[in-house]
Structure 1
Amino acid sequence: MKKLALSIFGLSLLTTTVTFSQSYFKTQGNVKQLYVNDKPFLILAGELGNSSSSTVEYMQPIWPKLKSMNLNTVLAPVYWELVEPEEGKFDFNLIESLIQNARKNDIKLVFLWFGAWKNSMSCYAPYWVKKDQKRFPRATNKNGVGQEILSPFSENNLTSDIKAFRALMTYIKKIDAKEQTVIMIQVENEIGMLPDARDHSAIATSAFNKAVPQPLFNYLKLNKENLMPEFKAAWAKNGYQTTGTWESVFGKSLATDEIFMAWYYADFINKLTDAGKQAYNLPMYLNAALNYKKEAKPGEYPSAGPLPHIIDVWKAGAPKIDLLSPDFYNPNFKYWNDLYVRGNNTLFIPEIKFEQGVAGKAFNAIGHYNAVGFSPFSIENGDEKMNMEISSAYKLLDKLSPLILQNQGKGTINGVLFDKTDNKQEIKLGDYTLTFSHDLNLGWSPKSKEDNWPITGGLVIQLAPDEFIVAGTGIVATFKPLAANLNAGIAQIDEGNFKDGKWIPGLRLNGDQSHQGRHLRIPEGNFSIQKIKLYAYK
């Protein structure tokens, strides 16, 4: 809050109080939307490589490139070891430079706090933490060997991380509360235990042999009928017990080890997040490293992070976290997203491999899953082809963002994603069934005979029972009325654009481009926004 006063000859004539509200989440329908400057905001982002933001000089030529790719947000790491190189002495020069350069380029920032953990490990903890293992104990494996992982059971580890994180948030508020350049914070990065499912240090084992904390039981009892099926089954094995040790409640298994660790990681993160929000109340989320294969056992992947099968533990243990989000480095895009939106969870994809198909995945995530945003990883290192793909997609999504945000959570928006195996999808909107398919299904391109098809996708928004906006790349749509014994006719298709939320029609596509009224088409490799009006006839 800031007071502005006009004074003449020492007399105060006018005092106005101006309040600057930081970004926040607001629910629309069954999803959350991020609000920035009190308006809904769609994150069209890229995440920097791990080291890119570690020097001011390295970032200077990157900013124009990011702007040219139509990003409105950059996800940038900030590092505990550089923020607090000596205990109690803080250096925020890098943070100040990132904020100033983002403002110059009209780009928002999401900061990724590389504190106690990054990709399971504690590689970004300061040297003064790393070298003092007595004061800052490590997790150990089942053979008692210390790991490069700070133990979440140590009060010193928690307290020191909190001090640094609170100092960071205090500084961001001091220099950015008015401008709101920084709109969200990622707390730590891809938390998880390796190579065992749990910490086997003495302090961890002591906690493991104690009773399950009552707050977890309180959550389970309150949400019993709405628990994720995997976790409900784990609790059901021993008869839904509401007292007892971890093994007496959940059984003796690696799965129980993972549940135990998830609770104590979540408790650590909740306390850290709470301290950060007390300093500056920005939205905060946590990201998860997904299992590289479905059948992997706990300990074979970064275990106990906010994964779908234990997401209830995270909801119970870390209620201060606003979003629990997946990072994608495997091909099972729809499978994992379907898991993450269960229970009215809102999707945000903060990190995804920067490769062919990111455009289709962005359209699908935002359209079908009502995602808050999308962000390929190492965005500054893409080749010309990849840069073109994501910048073309973001250009369309930026124009569409007012309409997208107006429709998310209301059942009037959807999205599709295709490859050669999964190449067709039906969607019911308004008075019609819309059948979308991969453009190469038409067989017109020589690419259709290849073993692998490029990943394509798009989104559709209902404007009226018989009128739709379709955008994307490499998709074809046909239409059928929901009413029996009727056919669908295309009254008109216009390719156009939006300016300040207003539709500006361009080319009329009622001829060859629509195959003389047979379909709507956006060829593979092209990016387009098209508006179609339908009618029914016998």
Structure 2
Amino acid sequence: MKKRLLLTSALLLLLFAGGKAQRSSIEKVNNSIQLYYDKEPFFILGGELGNSSASSVKDIRQIFPKLKAIGLNTVLVPVYWDLLEPQEGSFDFALLDETLSEARKNDLRLVLLWFGAWKNSMSCYAPLWFKSDYKRFPRAYTSNGKPLEIASAFSDEVLKADSKAFNRVISHIKEKDAQIGTVVMIQVENEIGMLESARDCSAIANKKFSQQVPEELITYLSKNKEKLHPVMLKRWQEAGSKKRGTWSEVFGEGIETDEIFMAYHYAKYVEMMTKGGKSIYNIPMYVNAAMNSRNRKPGEYPSAGPLAHLIDVWHCAAPSIDFLAPDLYDKGFKDWTAQYKLHNNPLFIPEIRLEDNDGVRACYVLGEMDGLGFSPFSIEDYNYSEKKPLVQSYKMLQDLMPLIKKYKGSDKMRGVLLDKEARTTTLKMEPKVELTCSHYFTLPWDPRAKEDNEWPEGGALFIRLSDMEYIIAGSGIVVTFQEDGSKTAMKVELGEDGFINNGGKKRDSEERWNKDYRIGIGYVDEVNMDKEGKIERIRRFNGDQDHQGRHARISVDDFKILHVKLYSYK
């Protein structure tokens, strides 16, 4: 009887735990890493609040209705340690509860950003009782002995205090939100990293730096040698690929080794935070990085953060973290995203500069990079209008969600991003057809299409519904369709009337036609989608709007969904 009662109690506990299980998860499906919500793929059409925008109940209540109008499905919101625990051991969840309430009222999901021991490297959101007791909670030091407003990652007391507050947040979310599922992910710290010096040079840090490289890191590098980031592999090999030794012996002398050392210990700290939090409530957790851009050296940018060239160190020391994410404020968007879309790391952009180009960038991240989400920073400052690019883009992508959920992670969904420098690219989504995608300003019909003008980025998301049938969703793009290997597309210059701009001059002879068939456009329709993903035609574009069957196009400043049906002929 006693044994039966114990078994019944255990089953009840399991049922209770199941009722409290999180509704979001990170899953690997085939070769694609996806964010799932209620067992379906979920793409974050997000926006991150400015650092101070969730620090009062009044601000929270004013901001959230506007965010819903912009078209977000998710808001990234800071949780401030100093306001959560103003006196040690005394917790105030009023701001977090108000955030949960407003998100639910506006049918929005949340990603919570833990502004704990570090925010943009500094310990600026740690409580005053923590900051002022620098003996108990020691600081990091520069190489010349200067103490910094940066808590030391080597202090057990720092970790203990930070973890205690973080775990209280996780427990509160589990209690208040597990069954509702408003919170889909947690960001652990914010842009962690060392400034002024590449590593902490305090006494305890120096002692650890002179010790042997931990065996787990050497084992990880050896086991994953064929898949290591090229920068990490080169650093290790140039120092002799040693299997044991101090940090300088294994990775060589220099600030690059300082950064590897510091990355390992930051990651170990974050692993303790994450592992403890997930033991309470197993919700997806990630870390974000400030970029090593503009030729800056470690310490000039936040050294040792979750940067792409340090991904192996972070994966080794912090296996509980689900992924590493970039905060993007520099030029070279496609290059930065490519650094984080890796075989062992999905792309999520928690922060990007808020600008009009974000509309087509979101399409590219979703279509081409198979991303988890896209989130411009300081979203509450967006100058809302129905015609603004981000508003149009998010509405368009929301309409497409049934199809996106169906095709996300497959080779049937792609994307392109174009500008003045990279104005044309080619996609091949089926054996028979090539798609040549060009910036809208390559056509002569827009008065802004001049070489001395700035070109807004153009781009689109493509879904292949079946053979010879596509959805194209985006802005500022022209797409032609040609038989595989054809060189005939976009070969002639067009005048403003759409005819050949040759002035009656004799044209050079073209290569003789040598294909078995040609690809034609059966029709181009502007469409909407219903909630089940069924296509609803708005109007047909078989005249001037597709240049009499020559291409499909969407002008700059417009976001449209096109349904294109092709055919072949001889």
Counterpart mapping for 1:126-145 below 5 A: 126-145=127-146
Moved more, 380-389 or 398-407: 380-389
How far residue 408 of structure 1 moved from its aligned partner, in angstroms, is 2.4
8 Å Cα contact 1:356/1:386 also seen in 2: no
Corresponding letter in the other structure for 1:261: M
Q: Using the alignment, how far apart are the partners of 1:239 and 1:252 within structure 2?
A: 13
How far residue 343 of structure 1 moved from its aligned partner, in angstroms, is 2.5
Report the counterpart of residue 55 of structure 2 in structure 1.
54
Per-residue CA distance 1:382-403 (angstroms, 9 max, x = gap): 2246982211101111111222
Report the counterpart of residue 537 of structure 1 in structure 2.
569
Counterpart mapping for 1:431-510 below 5 A: 431-449=432-450, 450-482=452-484, 484-500=515-531, 501-510=533-542
Q: Using the alignment, how far apart are the partners of 2:77 and 2:377 within structure 1?
A: 10
How far residue 452 of structure 1 moved from its aligned partner, in angstroms, is 1.1
Q: Using the alignment, how far apart are the partners of 1:259 and 1:451 within structure 2?
A: 44
Q: 1:386 to 1:503 in 2, by over 3 A?
A: closer
How far residue 494 of structure 1 moved from its aligned partner, in angstroms, is 1.0
Q: Using the alignment, how far apart are the partners of 1:436 and 1:385 within structure 2?
A: 28
How far residue 259 of structure 1 moved from its aligned partner, in angstroms, is 0.4
How far residue 341 of structure 1 moved from its aligned partner, in angstroms, is 1.2
* TM-score of the pair, normalised by structure 1: 0.95
Per-residue CA distance 1:92-115 (angstroms, 9 max, x = gap): 111111001110110001100000
8 Å Cα contact 2:60/2:102 also seen in 1: no
Report the counterpart of residue 148 of structure 2 in structure 1.
147
Moved more, 480-489 or 343-352: 480-489
* TM-score of the pair, normalised by structure 2: 0.90
Report the counterpart of residue 425 of structure 1 in structure 2.
425
Per-residue CA distance 1:339-390 (angstroms, 9 max, x = gap): 1112342100111000120011111111110001100000000224698221
Corresponding letter in the other structure for 2:102: N
Q: Using the alignment, how far apart are the partners of 1:401 and 1:119 within structure 2?
A: 34
Q: Using the alignment, how far apart are the partners of 1:344 and 1:124 within structure 2?
A: 32
Report the counterpart of residue 527 of structure 1 in structure 2.
559
Report the counterpart of residue 352 of structure 1 in structure 2.
352
How far residue 63 of structure 1 moved from its aligned partner, in angstroms, is 1.4
Tell which structure's C-alpha radius of gyration is larger.
2
8 Å Cα contact 2:357/2:457 also seen in 1: yes
Q: Which runs of 5+ in 2 are unaligned?
A: 1-14, 486-514
Corresponding letter in the other structure for 2:79: V
Q: Using the alignment, how far apart are the partners of 2:220 and 2:406 within structure 1?
A: 33
Corresponding letter in the other structure for 1:357: N
Q: Using the alignment, how far apart are the partners of 2:387 and 2:246 within structure 1?
A: 52
Matched residues, number: 522
Q: Using the alignment, how far apart are the partners of 1:296 and 1:405 within structure 2?
A: 40
Q: Using the alignment, how far apart are the partners of 2:463 and 2:120 within structure 1?
A: 37
Q: Using the alignment, how far apart are the partners of 1:160 and 1:420 within structure 2?
A: 51
Moved more, 23-32 or 258-267: 23-32
Q: Using the alignment, how far apart are the partners of 1:197 and 1:204 within structure 2?
A: 12
Report the counterpart of residue 92 of structure 2 in structure 1.
91
Counterpart mapping for 1:304-453 below 5 A: 304-384=304-384, 388-430=388-430, 431-449=432-450, 450-453=452-455
8 Å Cα contact 2:356/2:390 also seen in 1: no
8 Å Cα contact 1:65/1:380 also seen in 2: yes
Per-residue CA distance 1:305-360 (angstroms, 9 max, x = gap): 11111111111111100010111000111111111112342100111000120011
How far residue 154 of structure 1 moved from its aligned partner, in angstroms, is 0.6
Corresponding letter in the other structure for 2:383: D
How far residue 458 of structure 1 moved from its aligned partner, in angstroms, is 1.1
8 Å Cα contact 1:486/1:536 also seen in 2: yes
Corresponding letter in the other structure for 2:220: Y
Corresponding letter in the other structure for 2:542: N
Equivalent in 534, 549, 553 of residue 517 of structure 1: 549
Q: CA RMSD in A?
A: 1.4
The structure carrying a bigger strand percent of its residues is 1
Q: Which runs of 5+ in 1 are unaligned?
A: 1-15
Report the counterpart of residue 273 of structure 1 in structure 2.
274
Per-residue CA distance 1:105-156 (angstroms, 9 max, x = gap): 1000110000010001110000011001110011000111101111101111
8 Å Cα contact 2:217/2:313 also seen in 1: yes
Per-residue CA distance 1:252-273 (angstroms, 9 max, x = gap): 0110000000000000000001
Q: Using the alignment, how far apart are the partners of 2:385 and 2:286 within structure 1?
A: 31
Q: Percent identity?
A: 50
Report the counterpart of residue 119 of structure 1 in structure 2.
120
Corresponding letter in the other structure for 2:415: G
Moved more, 234-243 or 371-380: 234-243
Report the counterpart of residue 7 of structure 1 in structure 2.
none
